[in-house]
């Protein structure tokens, strides 16, 4: 039997210092993982457990891209994030063993239709229209795990040269080992699974013509330009 049609290949992310790429299987995103960001969103941090939403792998967009201002929103927000790339199957792993399952780390942007996300939140509906936006999971080249140790690195974002987000990885409420251990109770994590670990305070809107630069000390920066709406 043959197919009625073929799908394009899964997105792949460049890996710093390698000719090989990292194919993307799933995208998990952690919500409210910096206390100051939860506060600016007007919500309490849930200290009992992290929570997640997902994006389809087709939402992957490479650093340096220019994307059209997205559909059906008037409040498109940047969210600078530390991204974890899973490198080995992880199922019910302990926090102590969690980092052994990491392939590497990258700078990413979780671009968000904030107006639609907040409207959904208000009505207790899912966030998909706000979060699973085409071209909304921006990612820079992955740095392999052996080349990067999670510490107090600065995580920051500028729009048109003005600093908007400025925090530290040590401000994460749920650490990377805690997130991997928790998520691996609900999913058989596999190579190709990316985890966007949440954004610091200072989120805000962008408009056509804006240029975003996101940085984490020790990782390749992530950049994005907003073009006119389609």
Smaller CB separation from Mn ion, 100 or 178: 178
Contact call for residues 10 and 21 (beta carbons, < 8 A): no
- Output the smallest distance, CB 96 to Mn ion, in A: 27
Classify residue 200 by burial, with Cβ atoms within 10 Å: 0-12, 13-18, 19+.
buried
- Distance in Å, CB of 79 to Mn ion, minimum: 4
Nearer to Mn ion, 93 or 111 (CB): 111
Residues that bind Mn ion (CB under 5 A): 79, 110, 199
Our CB check for Mn ion shows the closer of 43 and 89 to be 43
Residue number of the CB closest to Mn ion reads: 110
Adjacency order of strands within the sheet including 112-113: 112-113, 76-78, 204-205
Residue 110 or 193 having the CB closest to Mn ion: 110
The least distance separating Mn ion from the CB of residue 198, rounded to whole angstroms, comes to 5
What span, in angstroms and rounded, lies between the C-alpha atoms of 60 and 27?
9
Q: How far is the CB of 54 from Mn ion (least distance, A)?
A: 12
Q: Work out how close the CB of 80 gets to Mn ion at its nearest, in angstroms, rounded to a whole number.
A: 9
- Token readout for 153 is 């690195």
Instruction: From 27, 31, 218, select the one nearest 139 (Cα to Cα).
Output: 27
Between 40 and 100, CB nearer to Mn ion: 40
Task: Write the DSSP string, 110-140.
Answer: E-EEHHHHHHHHHTT--SHHHHS-TT-EEEP
Question: Half-sphere exposure of residue 75, counting CA atoms within 13 Å on the CB side?
Answer: 10
């Amino acid at each position: 039997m043959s197919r009625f049609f073929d799908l394009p290949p899964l997105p792949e992310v460049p890996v710093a210092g390698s000719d090989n790429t990292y194919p993307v299987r799933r995208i998990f995103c952690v919500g409210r993982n910096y206390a100051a960001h939860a506060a600016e969103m007007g919500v309490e941090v849930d200290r009992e457990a992290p929570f997640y939403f997902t994006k389809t792998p087709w939402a992957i967009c490479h650093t340096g891209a220019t994307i059209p201002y997205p559909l059906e929103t008037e409040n498109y927000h940047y969210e600078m994030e530390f991204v974890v790339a899973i490198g080995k199957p992880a199922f019910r792993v302990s926090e102590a063993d969690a980092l052994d399952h990491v392939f590497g780390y990258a700078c990413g942007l979780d671009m968000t239709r904030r107006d639609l996300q907040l409207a959904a939140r208000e009505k207790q509906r899912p966030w998909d229209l706000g979060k699973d936006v085409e071209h909304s999971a921006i990612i820079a080249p992955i740095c392999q795990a052996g080349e990067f140790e999670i510490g107090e690195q600065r995580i920051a974002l500028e729009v048109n040269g003005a600093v908007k987000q400025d925090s530290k990885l040590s401000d994460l409420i749920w650490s990377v080992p805690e997130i991997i251990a928790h998520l691996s109770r609900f999913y058989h994590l596999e190579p190709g699974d990316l985890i966007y670990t949440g954004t610091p305070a200072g989120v805000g809107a962008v408009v056509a013509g804006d240029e975003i630069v996101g940085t984490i000390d020790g990782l390749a920066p992530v950049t994005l330009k907003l073009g006119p709406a389609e």
